[in-house]
Structure 1
């Protein structure tokens, strides 16, 4: 016999001490023969969890235990049919890789495949979000209806309690009024009952007012936005990898992996719960390619600004836009210049110092005037300039400074006042 909490299984004979018989094949089993450490339902639940966690068994699926690999225990090799394991490579803590290892360990044969998790895991995450989005919107609407129903039920329960308390108070009042005043003991008891009923009415009214105040103060959650923003919830810092793995296992039964060596693609066949299948083809990184490359959006901004702006201005713009380098750092003029050299991006023309293009300060120095006068020339339309966007630094051709209208522009004494159209006087009566 075996009870929950026992550590010694029931064996068929004394000679066979290595293999226990399954629970359903026991000849004698006396439940609750003696008190165990746990009850029978918890024992069965523990046994089912142990069976699921037995990763090496045929047909078993490893439960989500955390780690840094999303698909640990779900990938099956499309060539040999064995489970893919997770290995970590590089400096600690290392980068996760999926590898068919058992054929090499047991049969000393070459491994079937090896591929990194840096591109596979995000692709599966996007596929999961795409699959659950319609159901999430429907679930959000159902949750919103349930939220409203709960509020209405709570109000209704408090109202019913108040109605019952008022009825009991009215009944106590009628009993007290119908009592003979000469019978003082009964009258005193009925008066106490009436006072208790009135106190209960006051308590129910206060509870109803409190419920209404809480409902007004508590904001109603926007379930629709919650459903449409599943990607943010999936990547939230408070959601750990174990939670993502468990969510994945509620939707996916198995994933069969294969590698197309000619096209350098990983082919994933997802077996969903319910019998549906879908396939993903994910490109493997090329030789020397890594996940710390500069984003293409940052390179596009750099190419558009390089011929007009300095490296410091480009770095400030990228930082204001929230873009980072491939290593997650902020931009500096030195990093922008180094990246321009690697990608052969032409620098901005006034920075080359060949005398063709000048900044506003350099133009003022060449004319021998102040920067304020150069701004006045630009504002009057005498000196043409180029700007990438409004309010960007001016780029001035050196040949434009030699024009007669620029050199012979009259000097203005006193403050510069420009008459604005449709401008009203501050003192119209004067």
Structure 2
């Protein structure tokens, strides 16, 4: 109904045509809709419509834009994928179709529709959408972030200025209404009461002026009663702008709102796959006319939620002196999580270590450990633990410190070098830290200082 010209008060004729169609029963007549340029008659403003013609055209454009076609993005849906209707194949120019997979049907995947929808041929390109959406999200927040504080402050100032302008305009209207009422009263007061027609007319004008004063005063009272815009603290805005990632990822943010923001800033994204480099190539066409290219590694299935490489490197070093149970405690104490955001346990450390083929920690059969923690290494060269730690921090002896709040790891071979001997000699010459005065630190967790 909202697309019918009658809704906008127009008369239209010749909107359809009869065409010959072929079905299971042979040839037959089929009615098809014509394009507007082919209509025989279209006369706007012929009769009273539900809305005016301009409003009808705006509604028609909106409805047309909400239909996902090759020209329009379509209305944003409830799905989590940010680029639905925005991403296009660079090889054939078609829009990429979107499918959700996974146990909860929340993992998007973009694929080209050429081939499997036409001739059963292989698709042009296909790739997972999680990595792509994360990259677009980071680029979007990077664009919005620097101007967030300035935009919010300018918006608040503009709202306050507009409110003050309305108040000033109402004040001028009230002044004019009171002047008109006073003038009408003076005219009525000077009139001859015997002339009833003149006196009645002047009294009517005076009453009309008084009603106008009351009307303007009620508008001013209603304007003053409305809640004034709250003053925005620039400091709080700075904190808000620096934490846009948390706000964007908040559980209360609707996916449709995110998509509307993306479509406001991004006109289109053209995607391709560099098979030689195994990368996803994205060309982002921003709304302002600028273009930027992004290259993302094409990952394997499930690789997005894999454990960070830094954590894997830390586990590879910690197994030199610690068991899986101790490693899990050290990772948790440093606030590190698994790829799925879980706390570390002995079983998870064991699974991660086995997947990356990291050998398990085993004590030496002859009790001569090739790798030592800080307290054992200090006891071996007979210096205080603090002395050895300061030497390791200064780079005077080779040592490994995988975690900020974790143990130092020393190779036994490094403790027999001239550097270790020099540290021992200096410790003996320092009366504040005599040899052997260091505390006996047996715990791995207390060996970080």
Once the 2 structures are TM-superposed, how far is the Cα of residue 112 of structure 1 from its aligned partner? 0.9
**Counterparts of 2:266 and 2:33, CA distance in 1:** 33
Pairing of 1:261-410 with structure 2 (within 5 A): 261-286=275-300, 290-345=303-358, 355-356=367-368
Deviates more, 1:225-234 or 1:244-253: 225-234
Aligned residues: 335
Measured in 2, the distance between the counterparts of 1:394 and 1:136 equals 43
Q: Is the aligned partner of 1:118 residue 2:130? A: yes
Alignment of 1:101 onto 2:104? no
Give how far 1:5 is off: 7.9
CA contact 2:14–2:39 (8 Å) conserved in 1: no
| Alpha-carbon contact 1:253-1:273 (below 8 Å) kept | yes
* Cα 1:347–1:67 shift into 2, 3 Å: same
Q: 1:390 to 1:87 in 2, by over 3 A?
A: closer
- Relative distance call for 1:329 and 1:18 in structure 2 (3 A) is same
CA deviation map 1:376-421 (0-9, x unaligned): xx8xx899899979997999xxxxxxxxxxxxx9xxxxxxxxxxxx
CA distance in structure 2 between the partners assigned to 1:298 and 1:345 by the alignment = 13
1:83 equivalent to 2:86? Answer no
Aligned partners of 2:75 and 2:344: how far apart in 1? 42
Distance 1:339 1:353, change over 3 A: farther
Which of 260, 271, 295 pairs up with 1:246?
A: 260
Decide whether aligned partners of structure 1 residues 23 and 392 sit closer, same or farther in structure 2, where only a CA change above 3 A counts. closer
| More strand, by proportion | 2
Q: Distance in 2 between matches of 1:390 and 1:226?
A: 28
- Report SS of the residue matched to 2:88: strand
Helix, strand or coil: the match of 1:44?
helix
Aligned to 1:400: none
Q: Determine the structure 2 residue equivalent to 1:4.
A: 7
Whether the aligned pair in 2 keeps the contact of 1:88 and 1:96 (CA below 8 Å) is yes
Is the 8 Å Cα contact of residues 131 and 304 (structure 2) preserved in structure 1?
A: no
Instruction: Give secondary structure in 1 for the equivalent of 2:47.
Output: coil
Q: Is the 8 A contact 1:75 1:255 kept in 2?
A: yes
Residue 85 of structure 1 contacts residue 101 of structure 1 at CA under 8 Å; is this kept in 2?
A: yes
Secondary structure, counterpart of 2:32 in structure 1: coil
d(CA) in 2 for partners of 1:268 and 1:259?
Answer: 9
Map Cα deviations across residues 8-55 of structure 1 (whole Å, 9 max, x no partner): 97434664631134179562435372553x565553333112211232
> Is the 8 Å Cα contact of residues 74 and 255 (structure 1) preserved in structure 2?
yes
Scaled by the length of structure 1, what TM-score is found? Answer: 0.61
SS at match of 2:293: strand
Structure 1 stretches of 5 or more lacking a match? 165-199, 358-377, 396-408, 410-430
| CA distance in structure 2 between the partners assigned to 1:253 and 1:342 by the alignment | 42
Pairwise CA distance, 1:77: 1.3
What is the distance in 2 between the residues matched to 1:258 and 1:61?
Answer: 19
| In structure 2, C-alpha distance between the alignment counterparts of 1:392 and 1:126, rounded to whole Å | 31
Deviation at 1:120, TM superposition (A): 0.8
In structure 2, runs of 5+ residues without a counterpart are 20-30, 176-216, 370-378, 390-400, 410-435, 437-449
Q: Does 2:138 correspond to 1:139?
A: no
Of 57, 61, 74, the match for 1:48: 61
Q: Is the 8 A contact 1:61 1:73 kept in 2?
A: yes
Calculate the aligned-residue CA RMSD, in Å.
5.0
Relative distance call for 1:384 and 1:215 in structure 2 (3 A) is closer
Three-state SS of the structure 1 residue aligned to 2:285 is strand
Distance in 1, matches of 2:256 and 2:408, equals: 54
- What are the Cα deviations for residues 186-212 of structure 1, in whole angstroms up to 9, with x where unaligned? xxxxxxxxxxxxxx9xxx9xx99xx99
Do the aligned residues in 1 keep the contact of 2:269 with 2:282 (CA within 8 Å)?
yes
Say whether residues 1:71 and 2:83 are aligned partners: yes
Matched position secondary structure for 1:104: coil
SS at match of 1:118: helix
TM-score (norm 2): 0.59
How far 1:323 sits from its partner (Å)?
2.5
1:154-175 deviation per Cα after TM superposition (whole angstroms, max 9, x unaligned): 9x98xx99xx9xxxxxxxxxxx
Q: CA deviation at 1:121?
A: 0.9
